[in-house]
Amino acid sequence: QVQLQESGPGLVKPSETLSLTCTVTGGSINTYYWSWVRQPPGKQLEWIGYVYYNGYTEYNFSLKSRVTMSVDTSNNQFSLKLSSVTAADTALYYCARGGIADRRGAFDYWGQGTLVTVST
């Protein structure tokens, strides 16, 4: 059974960089697309972007200038960096596996989510 687990600081200061890592167990990181999705408190889901196992990335245009994603296939991990954060970046951050073929773009496995608060 594939499992995903987010890790990283729960508190980030304004203007600093948010950094999260997702560890994948129970399956290989190869082949699939690995996404980050966030959900501000009480609001809807927002796709941040994905990294393919070969390092190819696609980002949400609204965040593109501040987002960097990378993959570490040797450790079955992928990461998110979001720079110059503000209070608007406070959210529950999920990592998720993106499907292929008919499941393209859909997320079949999710981490439990990690709350990141931007505050002094």
CB of 58 to another protein, least distance (A): 6
Which of 1, 44, 65, 86 is close enough to bind another protein by CB under 8 A? 44
Between residue 50 and residue 79, which ones bind another protein under the rule CB under 8 A? 58-62
Nearer residue to another protein within complex by CB, 3 or 84? 3
In the complex with another protein, the residue whose CB is nearer, 27 or 99, is: 99
Report the 3 state secondary structure along the chain.
CCEEEEECCCEECCCCCEEEEEEEECCCCCCCEEEEEEECCCCCCEEEEEEECCCCEEECCCCCCCEEEEEECCCCEEEEEECCCCHHHCEEEEEEEEECHHHECCEEEECCCEEEEECC
Q: Could you say which of 5, 7, 23, 46 contacts another protein (CB under 8 A)? A: 46
